Amino acid sequence: MSEHSKHVESASGKLAQGTRVRNASDDAASLAIGAKNKSEIRSNYQAMRNANDAISEFQIAEGTLNEVGSMLTRLKELSIQAANGHLQDSDRSNLNHEYMELRSEIERMTQSAEFMGDNLFRSTKQRSFQIGTNADSLSTMNIDRSSMIVSEFNLQIVDSSIPTAEEARLNLNYIDTAIQNLSKTRANLGSYQNRLQSTVSNLDTGRLNESAAQSTRMDADFAFETSEKIRNEIKVSAAGSALLQSHEFSALALKLLK
């Protein structure tokens, strides 16, 4: 009866916890492997969060550069307008005022754009993102921040202006170069984001596979454990009845001896 009661308690515990291996004594090998699976699953989750943080950083940078691109387009429009011969110098002065304000805004935006306290477009230090679960080079993604520097100097518009028609015409080449440089930087950001998105997808696939392996090894078979519980409950009941009958027989024997 005691043995059957232990089986009932074991089956009930497995059903309550949903796991086949509650203690090392249940299955020592599976417990060790299951613990490793659990560690890998949680590590994959953290690596995915790291990669998503990196994606967020590049998305913020991309949003800023999108606005910078719009302002460069406006600078070219102003240069083309100022190059038109029918305008007076006073007209070009008004255009030049807007031009210079946009230039200042480009500089301000690129100076103030930050992510978690780190400037996105003025830092030259290398960034290293931990996007894997191991301590090797394959688990890190290194980004050369010098390829992300954006400023008036980097865009080659630091001394540009449109006070005269001649300067406005010459300025068109500078603006075209600035747009080209900005497009190259945005292309780099896009490639980083695509790589990180692929990394997240791969980590998620690995997490699902690890979870499936852990489930196969560690999860309780509810049908089997339920049948075991019921079977042993019946045995406990039968053992109890036998024990009761044994007591009754003992009492009857005592009466006969008297």
Q: What is the pLDDT of residues 205-254, one digit of tens each?
A: 988 888 777 776 666 555 666 766 667 666 667 766 766 666 666 655 65
Q: What is the pTM of this model?
A: 0.72
Q: What tokens appear for 212 in the block?
A: 């499936």
Q: Which fold has domain 25-217?
A: f41 fragment of flagellin, N-terminal domain (1.20.1330)
Mean pLDDT of 39-68: 92
Mean pLDDT of 167-176: 92
* Residue 79 burial (C-beta neighbours within 10 Å; 0-12, 13-18, 19+): buried
Dihedral pair phi/psi, residue 118, rounded to 5°:
-110, 130
Give the amino acid at 143.
I
Share of the chain above pLDDT 70, in %: 72
> Which sequence spans correspond to the domains of the chain?
1-18+220-258, 25-217
Predicted confidence (pLDDT) per residue in 72-119, tens digit = 999 999 999 999 988 888 899 999 999 999 999 999 999 999 988 888
Query: Could you write out the three-class secondary structure of 91-106?
Result: HHHHHHHHHHHHHHHH
